[in-house]
C-alpha cells in the first residue's frame, strides 16, 4: 500500500520517515503513520525513487516527521552462504536533513 506525497504532507504526525537504501545508490521512501508503514508515491502512484538521497530529502522537506532514518538490509550472509539469521540483518541509523539542496 502506498500514500501520495501530497497526502503525507497534510498529516500532523508522521512517526517515522524511512529512506530505504535498496541497491547501489538507489533509495525509496516509506512513512510510519499510526503504526502502519506505507511507501510514498507521487501523484501518479509511482513510488518515489532516486539515485540521490539529498534529492529525496528535498522532495520530503515539507513532511513533519518525528524521526528520519536511513535503513539498509544486507544480503551479505546469504551471498557468502552463511547461516540464515533469525533476527534479520537490518541497519537503521538516524538521518538529519542538513538542507544541502
In this predicted model, what pLDDT tens digit does every residue of 57-80 receive, in sequence order?
999 999 999 999 999 987 656 666
Q: Which residues of 83-99 are buried (b: 16+ CB within 10 A; e: fewer)?
A: eeeeeeeeeeeebeeee
Best CA proximity match to 90, nearest among 69, 67, 63:
69
In this predicted model, what pLDDT tens digit does every residue of 23-53 receive, in sequence order?
888 999 999 999 999 999 999 999 999 999 9
Global confidence as pTM: 0.84
Those residues with Cβ within 8 angstroms of residue 86's Cβ, 6 or more apart along the chain or in another chain = none
Amino acid at each position: 500500500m502506498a500514500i501520495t506525497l501530497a497526502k503525507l504532507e497534510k498529516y500532523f504526525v508522521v512517526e517515522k520517515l524511512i529512506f530505504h537504501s535498496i541497491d547501489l545508490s538507489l533509495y525509496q521512501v516509506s512513512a510510519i503513520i499510526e503504526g502502519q508503514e506505507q511507501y510514498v508515491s507521487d501523484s501518479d502512484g509511482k513510488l518515489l525513487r532516486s539515485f540521490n538521497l539529498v534529492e529525496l530529502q528535498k522532495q520530503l522537506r515539507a513532511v513533519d516527521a518525528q524521526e528520519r532514518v536511513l535503513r539498509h538490509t544486507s544480503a551479505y550472509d546469504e551471498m557468502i552462504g552463511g547461516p540464515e539469521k533469525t533476527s534479520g540483518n537490518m541497519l537503521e541509523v538516524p538521518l538529519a536533513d542538513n538542507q544541502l539542496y
